[in-house]
Structure 1
Amino acid sequence: MPTTPYDAPDATAGEPPVSWLDLAPDDPFGVATLPYGVFSAPGREAPRVGVRIGPWVLDAAAAAERAGMESGAVWAADRLNPFLGQGPHAWAAAREWLTTVLTDASYRDAVLPHLVPLAEVTTHLPIRVADYVDFFAAEHHARNAADIFRPGVGLSPNWKHLPVGYHGRAGTVVVSGTDVVRPTGQRGPAQAGGSPTFGPSERLDVETELGFVLGGATAQGSRVAVGEAADHLFGVVLLNDWSARDLQAWEAQPLGPFLGKSFATSVSAWVTPMSALAHARVPVPGQDPRPLPYLLDGAPAPTTIGLSLELRVNDRLVTRPHASDLYWSPEQLVAHLTVGGASVRDGDLLGSGTVSGATRDSLGCLLELTHGGRDAVVLDDGSTRTWLEDGDVVTMTAVAPGPGGGRVGVAEVRGRVVPAR
C-alpha cells in the first residue's frame, strides 16, 4: 500500500521532540529535522553517513552498532544510495530510532562518543547521482523567462498540462562549498545576421531551487502513480542550477538547455527528509485547467512545501522566494517523470526549477531580477550586480514551519565563482 506521510496537522499542532543534547530551542536542525549527509573527520577519515543534530554530526553507523541496531550497518557506506534503496518503511524506522536515541537519555552513553562537532567535519556529496532532471515548476518564473527570451509569446501551450523539464548532467552535480568555474562556449551574434562569438560566459546566473532526492528503485517500463510517489520521495536539498544565460539563449534553438547549464549544479550537503517537512505542506496554487487523471488520481489534493528561501551574494541579501509558489507538486513531478516508463533509480535528483513569486523581492534568479540584464540589482551594501562576477559567493538558505511552531531547516548551498580556464 502507498504511504501518505504528508496528511499532517497544521504547523502549530503537536510539540517538537526535546533532545538530551543542549540545543538552542530555535535551532532549525534540532530533533524535528535530522537531515542525512556524508562526512569525514579526524579519526573518521573514510566517508560515511552522518545525521546532523544542532552543532553536531552523529556517526550513524557507529552509533547504531553501539546501540544494537543491526540494520544501521547500511550507514557505513560512502553515499546514501544503499539506504535510499531500502525504501520508505526503512526510512521511517530509521527516523524513529534516531529520534528515540537522541531524546531518551538512557541512550546517552551509547550515542555521545559518536557525536562529532559540525565544525570539524568535511562534507561530501551525499548521493551518487543516478539521473538528474530539472523541471520548470513555478508559473511566475516560466512567464517571466518567456517574456525575456520570447517577448509576446507567453507560456507555451503545454505548460499547464504537464511538468516541463529537461534531462541534466548528473556528473557535474557538486556538493555545497565547491567552487564553480565560469563556463566557456558560444554566445549568440550581437546583431541579426552576425556571427557568434566564443569565450567565457558574460551572463552567469543562479537559480534558486529545491532538489528532491529519490529512492525505492523501480523497473524500467513501469510507472509510479501519483498516489504512490511519496514512497519514492526521500528528502529535499537546496539546489543552485547555475546558468550561463548567453550560452543558453544561443544554443536552445530549438532544443533545451545544454552547455548553458551542464557545467555545475550545486546541492546542499545535508538531505532533509520529507517526513521532517510534513507540517510545512501547503496546497499548490490552483491548477487550472485540471490536470489529466494520471497527475491527480489516487492521491490527496496536490501540495508543495512551504519553504521560505533566501538568496545572498557575498552575504548580501538579494531575494526571498517562497516554495509555496510552485505550481506542480513533487508527487506530480515523479508521476510525470515515470509515466512513459522511465525507472526511478536510487539517488535520482529532481530539480523544481527556479522558485519565483509575483513580487520583485520573490524572484529567484538574476535573469528575472534584472529583466535579462537591463536593470542592475542594488545590494544592501550599495553594490550592484547584473550578472555574477568572478569571486562572487552565492548562498541559499531555507526554513520551513515545524511542529509546535518550531522551525525545520534545509541546509544551505554555497558556491564561489572562479575565472574560466
Structure 2
Amino acid sequence: MTNAELNELKQRYVASGAASPATQFAAKAENAELWDEDGKRFIDFAGGIGVLNIGHRHPKVVEAVKAQLDRVMHTCQTVMPYEGYVRVAQKLSELTPVRGHAKVMLANSGAEALENAVKVARAATGRSGVICFTGGYHGRTFMTMAMNGKVAPYRTDFGPMPGQVYRAPYPVPSIGVSEEEALRHLKMTLKSDANPSDTAAIVIEPVLGEGGFHAAPASFLKAIREICDEHGILMIVDEVQSGFGRTGKLFAIEHAGIEPDIMTMAKSMADGMPISAVVGTDTVMDASGGNSLGGTYTGSPVSCAAVLAVLEVFEEENILEKSQGLGEKLKSQFNAWEARFDCVVRGRALGAMAAFDLVEKDGSPATELTGKLCREARERGLILLSCGLYGNTIRFLMPVTIGDDVLEEGFSLIETLLDEMTA
C-alpha cells in the first residue's frame, strides 16, 4: 500500500492518542536506514527511540529469532518454562552491576519493568513511598505516569495519579539546578514530604532520557547511594534508554562506579523485540511471594533468543568501543555547530547518548525552531527526535553501528537546515 492509502486507514481506525503524527510508513529497514511504502529512503537518527543500538535487523538477531520460531513461540513461562528465559536471567545477573548476587525477572516493556521494580521494592522494605526526579520518564502505565517528571503529554487527561510518589529536582545547571541545590532539595523532600521510614525506593535515570539527555554527576549518584544506605531505602536505577551500550558502557551507572539495589532495562536489549528486565540483589528480588511477578508474555522465547544474540554481537563487534567512538564524532560535530550557529548550545554526549539544545537570541528555549528542524529533516529524509522539559533538545539515538558515510550524510543535512533556518 502507499503512504497515502495507509494514512487514510490510520485516520479512520487508529485512536488519535495512539496515532503517529508521521505521514510516512516504514516498509523495510537495514542498520541505520529506512525506506517507506513509497520507496523513499530515510537516515535513522532515532533508532526506534534507543531500541536499535546495533541497527535495524542485525543479521545475527534475525537468524536467532527465525531459529526460535521453528522451535517454541509461546508457552507462558509460568506454565512451562524454557531455556531462553533462564539463560537470559543468568547473563543479566552476571553483567548487571547491582549489589551482591543478582536475580532477574523478565517483562515486556520499560514501563512494566518499572512497575515491577516498585512492587519488588515495596515487598522488600515493607514501605510504600517512592521518590523520583523532575524531567524523569519511566512509562505510560499509571504508576509510571505518576513517577514521570513531565506532565504533557503523558499525564494530561488521565485523572488522579497513584499516591505516595514524591519528587526532587534533577541536577541540570542549564535550567538553574546545581548538584548542590538538587541534593539539598532531595534531603528536604525526605524531611518535609517523604518520611524515610515510609520510603521504599529512590528511582533515578543516570542520564535523563525524555528530560533532555543530561547525565547526573557521579558524585550526585554516590550521594543518593549514601542516603539510601543511611535510611534503608532501595536505590532503583532506570537504564531503559541509557542501557545496553548507549553510553559507551553496557550500563550508564558504571560510569559512576556504584551499585544500585535494583536496575531496570529494556529498549536495545533485544534489538527491536519486546522485552524488559528487572535485575536486583537476590534477597530483594525474592522478597515477594510465589507467582507474584510475571505475566502472560513476559520473557517471550523469541525475545529471549534475540537478547542472547544481541549479547553475542556486543562481544564480537566491539559495540561498546563503537559507542565511545561515535560519541567522540558527535561531540566534535556539536562543537563545530556551536561555533557556527548561535542557536546551537550545550552540546553533550556520554558515549553515544548525545544531544544539543536550540535557543533563541535571548537564550530562551527555541521550541518552535526545534520542532521545525525535526519536521523539515524528516521531509528531506532524516529522522530526528526532540526531547527536554522545554522541547528544545535534539537527541541522537542512531545505531552505534551506523556507517561513516551515512552519519556524515545526516550531519550534512542538519547543517544545511540550520543554515536555512538561521539565514
| TM bucket, shorter chain | under 0.3
Q: TM-score, normalised by structure 1?
A: 0.23
Q: TM-score, normalised by structure 2?
A: 0.23
Structure richer in helix, relative to its length: 2
